[in-house]
Structure 1
Amino acid sequence: MDSLFSFGTGFGWKDFFDVLLVSIIIYYIYSLIKGTIAVNILLGVGLFYGIYLVVKQLEMRLLTEIFGGFISVGSIALIVVFQQEIRRFLLHIGKNISIRRKKFFWTFLGAKKTATQDHAEQIKPIIEACRSMSKSRTGALLVFSKYFDEEYYQTSGEYIDAPLSKRLLESIFFKNSPLHDGAVVIVDFRVMTASCVLPLSDSEDLPPQFGLRHRAAIGVTEVSEAVAVIVSEETGEISFAKDGNVNMNLSPEELEKILKEEL
């Protein structure tokens, strides 16, 4: 009883803040791995550690040594196993900081309206191309990135570096074009590469009707700050992917509104 009372009196505001921060970190980690295969891996790691504690208490020396050897290198193993989730977690934190900084910058300068008008003209070719490909049910995958990672994008596709235009996008995704498979990567409203191979999402919660384009769009937005636009070859439906989430069945007008906010 005295020990419980002493614990209560020793719990200060710093301890409360410490518990709060740990809770926030756990929540962010759970939100990032929810619905992915990483949840099963994490459960396996927890079960493995639980068995280690049991055999240690039962003084089973051989099993304790075996499990203890794995536990001693557990931190390195976890980094290797959860490298994508750790990357997504750090990108999520950095993205929130970047968004707040940009909002403050534009508010301070009062230039947000001018920037939106300029981007509206640059976005028009994208909307018109998506509208046309949706009507003709031409499959397409457009990835919008803030920077061009040559080692990642250029090695998996054909380097173009051309001004963005409706005709160029339609030519690339024309079904008889040698570049129609894969994704087009757009940076600063320039088509940098075409026919890019992207990482597929390993999420277990995706609808069964999602094909490779949707899974690739979700996958690239899970591991980077990029956003993606998908035009379905089967239905002509336009979708938008960001942070591993998909907004489906968009009209060209709805897509234009989203791209103005994101780009």
Structure 2
Amino acid sequence: MDRFDLSFLHLRFLDIVDIILVAIIIYYLYNLIRGTIAVNIVLGLIIIYLVYIVTEQLHMRLLSNILGGFVSVGFLALIIVFQQEIRRFLLLIGKNAALHRNKIWETFIPGNKEAENINIPAIKHIIEACKTMQHSRTGALIVFAKYFDDQYYQNTGEAIDGFISKRLIESIFKKNSPLHDGAMVISEGKIKCASCILPVSDNIKLPAQYGLRHRAGIGITELSDAVAVIVSEETGQLAYAKQGRVRMDVTYEDLEKLLIRDI
């Protein structure tokens, strides 16, 4: 059998690299929108574009003009509709770039590492507070943000900027406290703010029993590189959210290992 003649493709080495890079970008974008309503939006946009092509070929002027107006502003529409996914994609790129930068920095200048965001004694205080709140069935949502955005968090909560302590965490989430609703944000080794309103996850695959506290904890990890610890008010179970995924019924030992690893 004669071999296929592929000379008409005129592929260069850079063309192959171009195809691989586009494939990688599509793969990352798919991982970002997988399991969310964004998948349905993408399918809807594809259907509209296919209908526009069909109406254009059949010379259905009225419908093609209407759909053509939508297609002509398609790029702007994509930015508006997928602003959260675009934010997550840019955060993913920035996170990977920062990770490689730190590795290079540590390679050429040994002993010069960035300061830890939180120390072991502070983690002990957090775990002890979680134990107390778990036994008393006190609901809590604690967010650990590597990069604290003042406008993003403090606009919806109360600024604290206090040192991490077991009693302070317990007093914030005490049921009669005015700050118990919402999330407490820890960053740069301090409790930055409390009673913050966080975006709720729109993942359609989350179990129905997840309440607003769990969905908010998952939602903030979808939009940033933060991690979240959730104490369930109904069951007292500990949950750990990272990158849009949640781990239920976490033990204190596992929680300590996860916090040391991720923050």
Please give the TM-score of this superposition, normalised by the length of structure 1.
0.92
Query: Which amino acid counterpart does residue 168 of structure 1 have in structure 2?
Result: L
| 3-state SS of paired residue (2:186) | strand
Could you tell me how far 1:161 is from its partner in structure 2? 1.3
Structure 1 residues 102-111 or 49-58, which shifts more? 102-111
State the Cα deviation string for residues 44-84 of structure 1 (Å, max 9, x = none).
Answer: 00000000000111122222222111111110011000000
- Which residue number in structure 2 is paired with residue 100 of structure 1? 100
Letter in 2 for 1:137: R
Give SS of 1:125's match.
helix
Q: Deviations over 1:191-220 (max 9, x none)?
A: 111111111011101111111111001111
Equivalent residue for 2:110?
109
Q: Secondary structure at 1:170's aligned position in 2?
A: helix
Bigger helix fraction:
1
Deviation, structure 1 residue 109: 2.1
Structure 2 residue aligned with 1:24? 24
Does residue 67 (structure 1) correspond to residue 67 (structure 2)? The answer is yes
After superposition, the Cα gap between the structure-2 partners of 1:104 and 1:249, relative to the gap in structure 1 and judged at 3 Å, is farther
Find the counterpart in structure 2 of residue 199 from structure 1.
199
Shift of 1:106: 4.3
Query: Structure 2 CA distance, aligned partners of 1:69 and 1:115?
Result: 52
Partner in structure 1 of residue 81 of structure 2: 81
2:11 corresponding residue in structure 1: 11
**Which portions of structure 1, spanning 4 or more consecutive aligned residues, are displaced by more than 4 angstroms?**
none
Report the counterpart of residue 238 of structure 2 in structure 1. Answer: 238
Q: How far does residue 104 in structure 1 lie from its aligned partner after superposition? A: 4.2
- What code does the residue aligned with 1:81 have? V
Distance 1:45 1:4 in 2: 37
Q: For 1:225, what is the secondary structure of its paired residue? A: coil
How much is the aligned-residue C-alpha RMSD, in angstroms? Answer: 2.0
Aligned to 1:151: 151
**Other-structure match for 1:91:** 91
What CA distance in whole angstroms lies between the structure 2 residues aligned with 1:6 and 1:115? 56
Aligned to 2:128: 128
Number of positions where the alignment pairs a residue of Structure 1 with one of Structure 2: 258
Q: Indicate the SS of the match to 1:109.
A: coil
Structure 2: distance between partners of 1:232 and 1:32:
27
Kindly tell me: are residues 111 and 127 of structure 1, through their superposed partners in 2, closer, same or farther at Cα, counting changes over 3 Å? farther
Query: Is residue 2:157 matched to residue 1:161?
Result: no
Counterpart residue type for residue 7 of structure 1: F
Post-superposition shift, 1:115? Answer: 6.6
Residues 127, 199 of structure 1: alpha-carbon distance in 2 compared, 3 angstrom cutoff? same
Gaps of 5+ in 1: none
What amino acid is the match of 2:137? R
Partner of 2:199, secondary structure, is coil
- Segments of 5+ residues of structure 2 without an aligned counterpart are none
Structure 2 CA distance for partners of 1:252 and 1:106, relative to 1, 3 Å: farther
Distance 1:122 1:214 in 2: 23
* Number of the residue aligned with 2:256: 256
Report the alpha carbon displacement of residue 111 of structure 1 after superposing the two structures with TM.
Answer: 6.5
